[in-house]
C-alpha cells in the first residue's frame, strides 16, 4: 500500500504561522480553511480578512464540520471558541486531524472511487517507513512507544537524511542521555532543516500527556517534509544537468 495525500506537493510547514505565532495566526480560521482546501480537497471560499469575532467562529465551525463529516474526525469536544480563544490542545487536535485526513485516500489507485484508508492502515504504512529508516542506526521501531518517548527514533529518522557534516554537528550538540534534550533538539532541527511544523515538545511525552495519535500525525508531516525536500533536490539536479 502506498500513502498519498490529495495535494502531496503542499508542505504544511510553509502554510502555518511560525511556532511563536501559531495560535494567533489560526484564530480567524482562514488558514485552517485554506489547509482544508489544499490538503483535503474542500471547496471552501476563503473569506476576506475580518476583525469580526463571529466571522472567525463561522470559519472555524465550517472547518470542524468538514473534518467530522468528510473524515469522521472525533472533534465533538472541540469548539470554535477554543480556537478563537487560543487554546493550544484543541488547536493542535484540529491540525493533527488535518494531517491525518490528507492521507485518508489514495486517489491514484482508483481515480473514480478513491478507497478510504483506515487509521490502522495509515499507522502500519508510516511505521514501516520509520522502521526502514531507523534500521540504518540500529534503532528498533515496532510501535509508537518507547523509542519515540526517548527521542532515539526521531533522531534516527533525521540522521538518515542528513549530510555527513550535518550529522556530525547534530551528534556533537545532542545529549543522548537526556530524552528531553534529544526530543527538543530533533524537533527544532526538523523545523529548520525540513520545514516540519513543530507541533510537539518534550513535555508532550510525559506519561500523563502521551498521545500516540499526535506522534503519528507528526511522523506523517515529517515524512511529507523529507520527501518534499528530496523531490526538490531531484528537480534541481535535473535542471542543472539539462
Those residues of the chain that have pLDDT short of 50 are 1-10, 106-115, 234-242
* pLDDT of the residue at 221: 83
Task: Give the Å distances, CA to CA, from 72 to 65, 66, 69, 129, 174.
Answer: 10, 9, 6, 25, 40
- Of 123, 135, 133, nearest to 215 (Cα)? 123
* pLDDT of the residue at 25: 84
The angle formed by the CA atoms of residues 207, 100 and 230, to the nearest 5 degrees, is 105
DSSP state of 135: G
DSSP state of 75: -
Domains with residue ranges and CATH for the chain = 12-101 (1.10.418.10), 119-241 (1.10.418.10)
* pLDDT of the residue at 226: 86
| Neighbour tally for 111: CB within 10 Å | 7
* pLDDT of the residue at 18: 61
* pLDDT of the residue at 133: 92
11 close to 228: Cβ distance less than 8 angstroms: yes
* pLDDT of the residue at 171: 79
If you search the block for the grid coordinates 507528526, which residue do you land on? 218
Amino acid at each position: 500500500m502506498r500513502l498519498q495525500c490529495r495535494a502531496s506537493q503542499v508542505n504544511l510547514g510553509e502554510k502555518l504561522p511560525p511556532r511563536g505565532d501559531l495560535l494567533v495566526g489560526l484564530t480567524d480560521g482562514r488558514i485552517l480553511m485554506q489547509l482544508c482546501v489544499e490538503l483535503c480537497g474542500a471547496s471552501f471560499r476563503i473569506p476576506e480578512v475580518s476583525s469580526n469575532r463571529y466571522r472567525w467562529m463561522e470559519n472555524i465551525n465550517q472547518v470542524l464540520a468538514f473534518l467530522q463529516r468528510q473524515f469522521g474526525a472525533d472533534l465533538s469536544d472541540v469548539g470554535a471558541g477554543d480556537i478563537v480563544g487560543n487554546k493550544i490542545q484543541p488547536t493542535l487536535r484540529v491540525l493533527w486531524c488535518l494531517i491525518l485526513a490528507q492521507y485518508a485516500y489514495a486517489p491514484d489507485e482508483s481515480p473514480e472511487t478513491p478507497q478510504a484508508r483506515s487509521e490502522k492502515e495509515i499507522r502500519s504504512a508510516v511505521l514501516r517507513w520509520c522502521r526502514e529508516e531507523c534500521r540504518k542506526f540500529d534503532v528498533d521501531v515496532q510501535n509508537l512507544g518507547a523509542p519515540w518517548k526517548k527521542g532515539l527514533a526521531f533522531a534516527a529518522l533525521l540522521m538518515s537524511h542528513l549530510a555527513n557534516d550535518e550529522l556530525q554537528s547534530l551528534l556533537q550538540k545532542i545529549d543522548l542521555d537526556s530524552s528531553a534534550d534529544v526530543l527538543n533538539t530533533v524537533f527544532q532541527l526538523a523545523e529548520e532543516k525540513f520545514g516540519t511544523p513543530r507541533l510537539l515538545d518534550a513535555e508532550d511525552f510525559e506519561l500523563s500527556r502521551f498521545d500516540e495519535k499526535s506522534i503519528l500525525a507528526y511522523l506523517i508531516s515529517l515524512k511529507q517534509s523529507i520527501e518534499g525536500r528530496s523531490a526538490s533536490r531531484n528537480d534541481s539536479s535535473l535542471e542543472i544537468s539539462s
